[in-house]
Amino acid sequence: QQQVKQSPQSLIVQKGGISIINCAYENTAFDYFPWYQQFPGKGPALLIAIRPDVSEKKEGRFTISFNKSAKQFSLHIMDSQPGDSATYFCAASIREKLTFGTGTRLTIIP
């Protein structure tokens, strides 16, 4: 059972544009929603995270929007740069156990 659904599978954005990745979850017991960035051959690295009692969190060019009633959350990358090209995973946790989405391969083109 896929508890966290992520879309799109791949995304191409022009440099300077906004990249948007969406996730939906089913289990209302999830209590923490992080996003991870992964480069080829590397492990995932925490990018930004949010709790369900907050509707938005911003850190630099990265923003999470959270809609508890719809059970959806999204990552927005403003002013996207070529260095942002990577695979992004949303995740949701119950206590210490993270459930990851299937990933979005983001490519930023000049």
- Chain residues binding other proteins by CB under 8 A are 4, 6, 31-32, 34, 41-46, 49, 51, 89, 91, 93, 95-103
**Minimal distance in Å, beta carbon 16 to other proteins?**
28
Nearer to other proteins, 7 or 17 (CB): 7
Q: Are 93 and 101 in contact (CB under 8 A)?
A: no
**Token pair for 73:** 């959350």
CA distances from 26 to 1, 60, 71, 92 (A): 10, 29, 7, 10
Nearer to other proteins, 17 or 24 (CB): 24
Nearer to other proteins, 37 or 80 (CB): 37
Rounded Cα gap, residues 48 and 63, in angstroms: 8
